[in-house]
Structure 1
């Protein structure tokens, strides 16, 4: 089971790895769902993690709030992706929507072009896509070679246990075409049960290896 630990800034990276984290999702400002870290944080984290044979997925999100971005914000994200690629990140975590609660295809294609050669996760913006479009969204992301989808399976106001049936639908539909990465409420206490029910090989969270502080 691959445990991706979501870590805010550099401060807890070493603890996350020591406790069994196999991959780090690096972001800042978890209180708003995660945003892009600074150059210094990214450089130090990537260097440290690679010295421990641990991969890094770097969040690229210029602000909190919704996932509908301006042309200028897309350009910022493209620059950040290029920069993180130069620093040696293993992958990036991105997601763009339009005002119809669907993938902003043009924005995503621009970001994916910048991310060629990197692992790509489409983050929890996926959960804001209308339910009736989510399977079509999986197909779109598969066609454009996105590696995984980070999803809570529904509203973040509900526990992940309440969303397991929807997550199982995603896992079954995705099959071996794309990785469904459940997150948002998975801890070291419920991990085994959730992984068994969903038959998954990767999980994501801030507490999947226990408390870090």
Structure 2
């Protein structure tokens, strides 16, 4: 347990990781500020010294994970010409799917305060699904210039289909749901007109 008044490096990330462990182990009903700080090994008031309550904490956790994926997606256009188009698309889509545990996504939807904060942040320009979609579109544009895409492909619509499907799978990824990677591979194959069932390593 870290004593009160002692600085903890990367405390936000430490609390975020602790929250995800509590959710995965005990479910949304067990997520309290005390449970999070206990799991993180922090003083009881640490969460409230960095966040204005649990709704803001959950919102910031979701936004942080979206921002991570947006940064990864922003690198995608620079990978044009490397690996295969299918591998690159599957990698970024799976990164979005893996950015949040389904329990975190469900919790954010069921807490109106957290959901409102997330929507307001995204509307204000916080990196999220739109930024990821734009990066995928830019990547597909680059691949088309290289001649690695079939002619006439509607690239913005393909990017929207990938991000929209990832959003759906993320929000419905409860236990027993179909394997999201298999669904992602089928969608990428449909968009590219190829069989990509063996495309690339596990993302």
Which has the larger share of helix? 2
Structure showing greater Rg: 2
Q: After TM superposition, is the score higher than 0.5? A: no
TM-score by length of 2: 0.27
Higher relative contact order (CA 8 A, sep 6+): 2
TM-score by length of 1: 0.26
Which has the larger share of strand? 1
